[in-house]
Amino acid sequence: MKAPYKFSHAIVREPAATVVDGLRAVDRGNPDIGRFREEHAAYCAALVVAGVEVIRLPALADYPDSVFVEDPALVLPEAAILLRPGAESRAGEGEHLAGSLAGHRPLVRLAEGRIDGGDILVTGRELIVGLSARTDRTGVEALDRCIGQWGYAVRCVALPEGLLHLKTGCSLLASETVLATGGMIASGLFDGYETVAVPQGEEPAANAIRVNGHVLLAEGYPKTEGMLAELGYEVMTVPTGQAALLDGGLSCMSLRF
Ligand code: CIR
């Protein structure tokens, strides 16, 4: 199974003690900072095994959700784009990534609208962008104008009910192959792609990440793990219980490039 792209680096940010104040749709209790740090360390270790250099940024106490670095930025081969996160409390997070990103890519700031990185799936041929509570049409159009100069096409899609972000329910396994929940596949979002449905009851496993030769999968989804192994993917499982309390998963805890 050929990897869609070769990643050499991943930016992560240590969880802050204030992560207990992180946003969540449903309160199932606060994450435990000690366990969150352990899970984050396991996540970073898995990225290293997958062959990337992990750039660890320090915790930001003023931004409880800043461990979820995927949302305020998008890194493409041509540039790093500071997005405009849809949650008020997260609006300043991007500037804290600017210094690190500028060391690797020309930096571009999106001019208007709202858009979270969690709503952007970069495939081998286009960017699929979900309209959500965090991402609006103005933001998608601003992104489209920004990346059009490099030849990227944007496919703007409406999310099925109940998902925070597009990538809450899907991930890219290969450049033309998407892992997703049955509901997302049925709604036609990925027409034209090969799709692999996560088994019913294991929907959160759809937020996986393909990193070079490996697929990182949340721990606790044995049917999905078995299915992917059967399909020939090299699967590594990572604990995500603490991030899940804040509606976070594997994709949102790093910026890979
Ligand atoms: C938030 O609501 O913004 C955070 N608690 C979770 C962000 C998860 N990000 C992602 O799925 N890309």
Predicted confidence at residue 4, as pLDDT, reads 76
Distance in Å, CA 218 to ligand 1 centroid: 16
Predicted confidence at residue 51, as pLDDT, reads 98
Could you confirm whether 40 is annotated as catalytic? no
Cβ of 20 less than 6 Å from ligand 1: no
Cβ of 139 less than 6 Å from ligand 1: no
Q: Kindly give the parts of the chain with pLDDT less than 70.
A: 1-2
Predicted confidence at residue 1, as pLDDT, reads 63
Give dist(CA 66, CA 22) in Å, integer.
9
| Residue of the CA atom closest to atom 1 of ligand 1 | 23
Predicted confidence at residue 243, as pLDDT, reads 98
Atom of ligand 1 nearest to the CA of 164: 11
Please give the model's pTM, rounded to 2 decimal places. Answer: 0.97
Cβ of 165 less than 6 Å from ligand 1: yes
Of 40, 44, 146, 165, the active-site residue reads: 165
Predicted confidence at residue 18, as pLDDT, reads 98
